[in-house]
Amino acid sequence: MATRTVEMELRTPGLDAQGRVQMTPLGLQRVERTADDLHAEHMLINIGPQHPATHGVLRLVVELDGERVVKVIPHIGYLHSGFEKLGEYRHYNQIVPLTDRTDYLSPMANNVCLALAAEQLLGLQVTERCQVLRVIACEMSRIISHLVWLGTTGIDLGAFTPFLWSFQQRERVYNLQEMWTGARLTTSLTRVGGMMADVPDGFEAGLRDFCRTFPKTLDEVDTMFTRNAIWIGRTQGVGVLTAEEAVNYSLSGPMLRASGVAYDVRKDRPYLGYETYDFDVPVGEHGDIYDRYRVRLEEMYQSVRILEQALDRLAGLRGAPLNVDDPRVILPPKSRAMSDMEAMIYHFKQVMEGVSPPEGEAYGAVENPKGELGYYFVSDGTAKPVRWRIRPPSLINLAALPKMCEGALLSDVIAINASVDIVMGEIDR
Amino acid sequence: MKTAPDVAALQATFGAAVTRHAVSNGDHLVWLAPERAHEILAWLWSQGYAYLVDITAVEYRDPELPFEVVWMLRDLATGRELRCKVALDPAGPLAVDSVVDLWKGADWLEREVFDMFGVTFRGHPDLRRLLMWETYHEGHPLRKGFPLRGHFSRAEQTRQALAANPEAHYSIEELSIAEAYEDLPQEMRERLARGERGNV
């Protein structure tokens, strides 16, 4: 780029002897500065933990050279609740409510992951209807979580309208979720070997209506963002990670796929029969914020596709059993427990002792909206796990933040942090 | 699709350093000799296990059973998965070699294991507590000897939290960047330096 020199005289308005307005030159002394002088002083800025752009109680200490980031040191743990420790003191089904509160933007998908891991320990195969309902739960969670990401990232970069659109749509899914589980956030939907409840009347029609009308909102967001000059300027080429780096940093989910690695747990390590659904996995190529946005936007369209297929299957499974027929894990119906001796014993054993998997260990993974969520259980044969490890996708994705922010501008730190899609409940656990 | 790893090749290359092989619920587990763990993990990395799923540790309720550090590895291209474990004496000093030189993603995962279990990862560039604050000194919460409610009473925890200095919320590294470390009173410098750190 050619260097351009601009001659400029610094003046200030004043009055001359006759009282007329005139510009008087400022007597500034020019100090010659070398590049070293300008780079000498680094500034340390603390962002958070109480800052809306850190998406929770994340605290970043940023070392700045002018407006350039030299180093970012994240501090986490402000929301640490000791879930893993608590899990060691609870039965498997009692852990379900804890999972709601980890990634609280997609509680139903966490519930599903817990049930999968525990069923793996027990060697249980759930019923087909249960599988379809769990797929619906996972994809509903993906949509609401991505909508929160879309809206809040838009706000971080100065776009307010898509936030309102996406939260309006999110509300519709939350209403369905409330209809099904009775709760908007603490869903506790799954049980080992089945579900807490079947879908109520009107749920299927409501979800079908949502699937039919929701893509219009996505199209609107697409029109608003994808070719928007400000959006492109703020996101393209910012926070770039190559495919090798993304793998080396153990990233997962949209963060990994935006860098061009086509790994999706649903396709490559299928669970709940995902291999039988027809859907595509969007993959980016530049690994920047823009590609992460495109990947997440496309994933929502694909989730709608999966939901429609799952609803078709559900219609064919009307009246099919929901829970496994295994008194070791599923409570007998209340009417039987009150009238039948055997059922009462099963009821008593389960409530008092809990589900006891055999000795061993299992790692159950699902493709959560944030990335690969894994629950690692080690059992010693008792009803409480020896170890319940959460593989938190947000934590591992966030660990790459200092790398992505190297040499970026301070304003990019906010954009990059937003693009990781973190949720502090899961990071701090 | 999840596929079985080639444990026979691993055993042929490292012989007795791979002390045990087991299959639990379809997952392949190998136990490695602690002193050769890094060497074997580096070999696995070169064999295509480029993706580190997780690092964690397991302490059993039975104090006779060994303490385990666990590495979950995956080959993204073929879907092979292998869970490597190192057995340590829960009573002795817990230390293994860091794998940050192989997988950058191990950085925070090792810090978390250090924070929660007190395992020192030799060669880790910045082994600080991750979830608990730097001057936390109640111990390592996920150890079985750590009571669920913590070692201190609620009143004592509150007192300590209120008594903490604002400077204690910055790491020594950050205070050095801000050139504030030297300005701190000697007593505070000592207290900050006392914050439980790994023996790197």
pLDDT tens digits, one per residue of A367-411: 999 999 999 999 998 999 999 999 999 999 999 999 999 888 998
**pLDDT score at A147:** 94
**Each residue of A342-353: pLDDT tens digit?**
889 988 888 888
**pLDDT score at A55:** 82
Cα A158 to Cα A225, A295, A418, A419: the distances in Å are 12, 21, 12, 14
Is B56's Cβ below 8 Å from some Cβ in A? yes
Contact (CB<8Å) A387/B59: yes
Mean pLDDT value of segment A319-327? 86
Mean pLDDT value of segment A235-263? 91
Q: Which amino acid, one-letter code, is at A191?
A: R
**pLDDT score at A291:** 92
Mean pLDDT value of segment A185-204? 90
* Token reading at A322: 């929901």
Contacts of residue A289, Cβ cutoff 8 Å, sequence gap at least 6: A234, A235, A236, A238, A239, A415, A416, A418, A419
**pLDDT score at A303:** 94
**pLDDT score at A132:** 94
| Average confidence score pLDDT of chain A | 88
**pLDDT score at B195:** 55
Contact (CB<8Å) A249/B104: yes
- Among partner residues A89, A120, A429, which is closest to B25 by beta-carbon distance? A120
Interface-testing mutation among A64, A124, A248, with chain B (most B C-beta atoms within 10 A): A248
A39 pLDDT above the threshold of 70: no
% chain A with pLDDT above 90: 55
Query: Half-sphere exposure of residue B64, counting CA atoms within 13 Å on the CB side?
Result: 0
For residue B29, list its beta bridge partners: B22, B83
**pLDDT score at B86:** 94
Residue A86 burial by Cβ neighbours in a 10 Å radius (0-12, 13-18, 19+)? middle
Q: CA A331 to CA A352: how far, in whole Å?
A: 12
- Among partner residues A42, A386, A399, which is closest to B107 by beta-carbon distance? A399
Is B193's Cβ below 8 Å from some Cβ in A? no
**pLDDT score at A30:** 63
Q: Are B67 and B89 in contact (CB under 8 A)?
A: yes
**pLDDT score at A29:** 60
Closest alpha carbon within chain A to B76: A263
Kindly report the three-state secondary structure assignment for every residue of A347-387. HHHHHHHCCCCCCEEEEEEEEECCEEEEEEEEECCCCCCCE
- Among partner residues A361, A403, A428, which is closest to B131 by beta-carbon distance? A428
pTM of the shown model: 0.85
- Torsion angles phi and psi, residue A119, rounded to 5: -65, -35
Please report the ipTM that was assigned to this predicted complex: 0.85
Cα A234 to Cα A55, A157, B161: the distances in Å are 18, 7, 40
**pLDDT score at B167:** 64
- Listed as ranges, residues in chain B with pLDDT below 50 are 196-200
pLDDT band at A31 (very low <50, low <70, confident <90, very high): low
